[in-house]
Amino acid sequence: MSQRSASPPQASEPGEDIREQVVRMAARLEPGINQLARLVVERQRAEVPGFDRLPGDMQDLEIASAARHTIRGFLRSAQGLADTDAEVLRERAIQRASEGVHLTGLLRGYHVATEVVTDALCAAARPGEEAALLWLTRRLFTTVNSLVEQATEAYLLGMAGQQEAKRELAAALVRGDAPQEVAARCGLPLEPGYLVLSVRAPVPQEPVAARRLLHQVLVRLAPAADGRVLSLPNEQGGHILLPLGTPHADLVRHLSTGPSRPVIAGAALAATPGDVPAAAEQAHRIAAIARTPGVHRLQDVLLDYHLAGSKDSAAELAALLDPLDGHAGLVEAVAAFLDCDLDRRRTAQALRVHPNTVDNRLARAAQLTGLDPHTTHGVQLFGAALTLRRLAEGSATGFLPG
At 278-299, the pLDDT tens digits run 999 999 988 888 878 888 998 8
Task: Tell me, yes or no, whether 291 and 364 share the same domain.
Answer: no
By the 10 Å C-beta count (0-12 exposed, 13-18 middle, 19+ buried), 357 is classed as middle
Number of domains forming the structure of the chain: 3
At 39-78, the pLDDT tens digits run 998 998 888 877 877 777 777 788 888 888 888 888 888 8
How far is it, in rounded angstroms, from Cα 89 to Cα 76?
15
Q: Is residue 341 part of a domain?
A: yes
Residue 89's contacts (CB-CB under 8 Å, 6 or more residues apart) are 66, 69, 70, 73, 147, 150, 151, 154
Task: Tell me, yes or no, whether 110 and 84 share the same domain.
Answer: yes
CATH classification at residue 240: 3.30.70
At 242-269, the pLDDT tens digits run 998 888 777 777 776 654 678 889 999 9
Determine which helix (DSSP H) or strand (DSSP E) holds 261, and give its type and residue range: none
Task: Tell me, yes or no, whether 284 and 326 share the same domain.
Answer: no
CATH classification at residue 356: 1.10.10.2840
Q: State which of 268, 300, 332 marks the end of a domain.
A: 300
At 154-173, the pLDDT tens digits run 777 766 677 788 888 999 99
At 136-147, the pLDDT tens digits run 999 899 888 888
pLDDT of residue 213: 83
Q: How many CB atoms lie within 10 A of CB 302?
A: 22
Q: Which residue has better confidence, 393 or 276?
A: 276
How far is it, in rounded angstroms, from Cα 294 to Cα 265?
6
32, 67 contact by CB (below 8 A) = no
- Residue 243: domain span: 194-300
